[in-house]
Amino acid sequence: MKNYIGRKINTAIFISGTGSNMRNLIKFSNANKSPINVKLVISSNKNAKGIVYASKKKIANYSFKFSDLKYAEKNIFKILSEKKIKLICLAGFMKILSHNFIKKFKGKIINIHPSLLPKYKGLNTYNRVLKNGEKYTGCTVHFVNSKLDGGKIILQKKIKILKKDTAISLKKRVQKEEYLLYPRAIKKIIN
């Protein structure tokens, strides 16, 4: 994603739930010097909290049931083309995109994951790191490819796990770092 010279990159955010990262990216995109312009939010859940916020901020948003993946992706692809979207940020998006979709947007889909990848791919990362007695965990922003949480790493932030940490306290601290890391990673890939 080269040649960003003052023109913001049209960006879509895909969510499934709370959307706190989405909210943070929208704030980031509103800053003058931000390289992105969030033009679209796609949700896999029509009741996602994030959708309410997107509507409030007057950002176009659509919900799709991903039970029919082909149908959903066909429609999403149409909207992405109409809105000239050049970057897709997954933020708590709980569905797996098809190989075909990922291929069409090769190098343009990124994700944030709550672990130090390649360790702890998949769900339930906080409980698993605690159960394994890890000393450190963190978060990773990476490109999305067809392997779950397996694409090239853009940036990572490591944090120390405290003795008193629970899955809840850990999530809180990791997410705080996510809000800093995601914008930094976007700046890094748009140069």
Nearer to ligand GRF, 81 or 169 (CB): 169
Q: What is the 3-state secondary structure (H, E, C) of 48-95?
A: CHHHHHHHHCCCEEEECCCCCHHHHHHHHHHHHHHCCCCEEEECCCCC
The size of the interface with ligand GRF (CB under 6 A), counted in residues, is 15
Neighbours of 141 (CB within 10 A): 25
Which residues have a Cβ under 8 Å from the Cβ of 158 and sit 6 or more positions away? 116, 136, 137, 138
Q: At closest approach, how far in Å is the CB of 186 from ligand GRF?
A: 15
Nearer to ligand GRF, 18 or 63 (CB): 18
Q: Which of 9, 13, 14, 21 binds ligand GRF (CB under 6 A)?
A: 21
Q: At closest approach, how far in Å is the CB of 37 from ligand GRF?
A: 19
Nearer to ligand GRF, 4 or 167 (CB): 167
Q: Binding mask 103-142 vs ligand GRF (x if CB under 6 A, - otherwise)?
A: ---------xxx------------------------x---
Which residues have a Cβ under 8 Å from the Cβ of 78 and sit 6 or more positions away? none
Q: How far apart are CA 59 and CA 55, in angstroms?
A: 6
| 99 annotated active-site | no
Omega before 118 cis (within 30°)?
yes
Nearer to ligand GRF, 4 or 153 (CB): 153
Q: Is 178 in the site for ligand GRF (CB under 6 A)?
A: yes
Which residues bind to ligand GRF, rule: CB under 6 A? 15, 17-22, 91-92, 112-114, 139, 175, 178
